[in-house]
Amino acid sequence: MYLEEIETLDRPSLSRLQSARLTDLVARLKATENPFWLEKLSGVGSADSIEDLPSMPYTEKDEFRTTYPYGMLAVPMDDVVRIHASSGTSGKPTIVAYTRQDVALFAQVNARALSAVGATSRDVVHVAYGYGLFTGGLGLHYGVEELGASAVPASGGNPRFQVGLMMDAGATGLAATPSFALILAECADEMGLKGSLSLRWGIHGAEPWSEGLRDKLERSWGGLYDACDIYGLSEVIGPGVGVECKENKGGIHVFEDHFYPEIVDPETGQPVPDSALGELVITTLTKQAQPVIRYRTRDITRFIEGDCPCGRTSRRIGRIQGRADDMLIIRGINVYPRTIETVLMEDEALGPNYAIIVDRRKALPELEARVEVADDSLIGSAPDISSRLVSRLRETVRLRIEVNVGPAGSVPRTEVGKAKRVFERTDERDPLSA
């Protein structure tokens, strides 16, 4: 463990640490001359305990937009040493700023995350998250260096070149989105190199993925590979808000000494009962440049109760089910794309790539899933595969979803950035061939 003393702290001591940090955070924000924070905290007292947090106001994504670019800064610009921006889907990106201490924290939490998935200073880590404004590349990169391992800053794209580099540089760890890790595995297979690589583990996040996808990913790297989930978001810090440990792979440990998690009902904003699904809300207890109080992440998850065999005492959250704003409403039924993925990936006959098409050509939208066989020898069974998936999807999602099974490699891959899985269809053109 990278910071054993903190990561195994008993709960009462952790709670005292969180309380002291919250008191300090509120005092720091009240001492700024920033009208945004003065107004937000106008009805808040000195915050003596972490238990005071649920009575404080939320921070919303929209506030990053309305205060763009620097309206939420809690330090003078002189103290800012780095800027990142979130991958906004529309309009202006969200700018996030870091002081030198924030950059050190960013490196520390990523070193902790890497250590939890099994990395040590002896690893050569191939970092295939995008470098640049996106927090993934630099976040993991600094974490690798903090741990004392060797970082290979490959960034996204050009998978054949990357596989060659992994081979030559002797990569033992892979930091990449789950979808890009699969592309690399496919490529390594095509190049006849899969068995020759020495990969032991992968740290995968930035997009939703399922247990079935983990299984396929671990198998496609030859079975000795631990694929763990890393979670984070730019508005909070970037990657390294939490991670799964390799011992359990049963929930994401949130680095709660820095990022305090709550789960609330996305409609009412009220806390949900233990282990119920809801929206994750995070307070950054120690960040300096751009802290957030009760940030509504829009990510849907639940708390996981019970101790973890790895010995970490921090609370765990389940895999992110999707974003409140990604939820599709089809004929009155709420569907998260990840629920469809879960059903598809359980089927052994399918490869790991899929696309969901929301067909809006008629008055009532319809869903189609485009999938591919794991191996072209199975293509003759496409009609059977399709009909069993239609009935499984009907049982799980309560909708008829058309399933089209194509040959291996027929679903488009995303080589740079986050995988695009959901496509809208509004006219005769096939959105996948656009």
Query: Binding to ligand DLL by residue 417, rule CB under 6 A?
Result: no
Q: Which residue, 194 or 298, has its beta carbon nearer to ligand DLL?
A: 298
How many residues would you count in the chain?
A: 434
The CB-of-229 to ligand DLL minimum distance in angstroms stands at 5
Q: In 3D, which of 392, 411, 390 has the Cα closest to residue 401?
A: 390
**Any residues with CB less than 8 A from the CB of 383 and at least 6 apart, and which?**
none
The Cα–Cα gap between 382 and 27 comes to 63
Helices 337-345, 211-220: inter-axial angle, 10-degree rounding: 50
Q: Which residue, 207 or 402, has its beta carbon nearer to ligand DLL?
A: 207
Query: Binding to ligand DLL by residue 135, rule CB under 6 A?
Result: yes
Query: Binding to ligand DLL by residue 261, rule CB under 6 A?
Result: no
Structure-block tokens of residue 145: 């260096």
Q: Which residue, 159 or 178, has its beta carbon nearer to ligand DLL?
A: 178
Out of 63, 226, 257, 299, name the contact with ligand DLL by CB under 6 A.
Answer: 299
Out of 145, 207, 247, 265, name the contact with ligand DLL by CB under 6 A.
Answer: 207
The CB-of-136 to ligand DLL minimum distance in angstroms stands at 3
Q: Using an 8 Å Cβ cutoff, are 232 and 223 in contact?
A: no
**Residue that has been written with the tokens 């990449």 in this structure:** 176
* Options 202-210, 218-226, 402-410, 424-432: segment touching ligand DLL (CB under 6 A): 202-210
Out of 159, 173, 202, 208, name the contact with ligand DLL by CB under 6 A.
Answer: 208
CA distances from 379 to 77, 387, 391 (A): 59, 14, 19
Out of 6, 119, 174, 233, name the contact with ligand DLL by CB under 6 A.
Answer: 233
Out of 297, 314, 342, 353, name the contact with ligand DLL by CB under 6 A.
Answer: 297
Query: Binding to ligand DLL by residue 251, rule CB under 6 A?
Result: no
Structure-block tokens of residue 271: 């806390």
Q: How far is CA 307 from the centre of its chain?
A: 23
Q: In 3D, which of 13, 7, 17 has the Cα closest to residue 310?
A: 7
The CB-of-156 to ligand DLL minimum distance in angstroms stands at 11
Interacting residues with ligand DLL (CB under 6 A): 86-87, 129, 134-136, 205-208, 229-234, 238-239, 297, 299, 320, 323
